[in-house]
Amino acid sequence: MKSQVKNLCRLFALLLVLPTMAFASEGGPKLDLAPKEKFSDRAALQHGAKLFINYCLNCHSASYVRYSNLKGIGLTDDQIKDNLLFTGEKVGDLMRIAMQRDDAQVWFGAPPPDLSVIARSRGSEAGSGADWLYSYLRGFYRDPSRPTGWNNTVFDKVGMPHILWELQGDQVLEAEPAAAGGEHGGAHAAHAAPKLKLVKQGTMTPAEYDNAVGDLVAFLVYIGEPTADTRKQLGVLVLVLLSILTLLSYLLKKEFWKDVH
Ligand code: HEC
């Protein structure tokens, strides 16, 4: 009997780790974990919104998102108008951009995609979209062979230049240690965790930069589903109501059957 229980426990444990094993075998670069506690931190989300509008909205649109959605992270109409609208947009407008897709194709070799649901679309590929974004925005390094002069550890040959380089500074890719695979290391090296070295610090320290990118990623997760908070609260409310209903129907049943027995 005891060993049966043990076996059952083992089976459960296996079922629990199976999905993670599948991811591990997928390969690809290792992702750093985004600070998830920021997802519900209003100050972080507001800082992320500011970074997004200042640095990303020039090339990327977020055309499912309205500026008025920023009220969901605690900003007032006036704060949005005074701090985050630059070129005559209105609070109710969608986050669109003036750049034409065709121009972008010519300039960067690829059009910058709309970022409204980027945290969700990248999520299916690497387990968590937030982790991918967090690694991507911290993974730019100097690469003279690229037209922009930049490459990226999680998005090889990316068309996007390192927009936040003034904040982060210059990183270079550390040479792979020769022992890692010798001359047959080509395919193998692509799967090894790439090591970046900061050769020139930007206006932020590495810790400050990680923190800022964490805020930005939290905001990208937020715009992917601005009603996520409300949805979760509603879910809890529905469960509470269902339990009350269950209790009531049980009491009612008892009342009905009282005289039958
Ligand atoms: C100068 C224009 C420009 C700016 C500014 C810019 N990007 Fe990009 N971005 C691009 C281009 C072009 C691509 C497409 C790269 C490719 O497909 O090779 C891209 C790709 C991306 C991707 C990958 C999308 C995907 O899944 O394929 C993400 C994520 C992203 N940008 C986030 C950002 C964030 C966040 C900011 C602000 C900090 C930002 N970008 C600012 C031009 C820009």
- Residue 38, classed as helix, strand or coil, is helix
What average pLDDT does the segment 173-184 reach? 59
Q: Whose CA is nearest to atom 33 of ligand 1?
A: 56
Q: Whose CA is nearest to atom 27 of ligand 1?
A: 113
Q: Could you list the beta-strand ranges (E) of 128-185.
A: 140-142, 150-152, 169-173
The verdict on the CB of residue 133 being under 6 Å from ligand 1 is yes
Q: Whose CA is nearest to atom 17 of ligand 1?
A: 110
Place of tokens 């995609």: 113
Cα 111 to averaged position of ligand 1 atoms, centre (Å): 9
Please answer whether residues 142 and 170 qualify as being in contact, where contact means their C-beta atoms are separated by less than 8 angstroms. Answer: yes
Which tens digit of pLDDT belongs to each residue from 93-136?
999 888 888 888 888 888 899 999 899 888 765 448 999 999 99
Which tens digit of pLDDT belongs to each residue from 26-75?
556 788 999 999 999 999 999 999 999 999 998 999 999 999 999 999 99
For residue 88 the two structure tokens come to 């005559």
The domain ranges of the chain are 2-252
Could you tell me the pTM of the whole model? 0.78
Would you say residue 227 has pLDDT above 90? no
Cα 22 to averaged position of ligand 1 atoms, centre (Å): 28
For residue 205 the two structure tokens come to 């320290």
Looking at domain 2-252, does it have CATH number 1.10.760.10?
A: yes
Please answer whether residues 94 and 64 qualify as being in contact, where contact means their C-beta atoms are separated by less than 8 angstroms. Answer: yes
The verdict on the CB of residue 79 being under 6 Å from ligand 1 is no
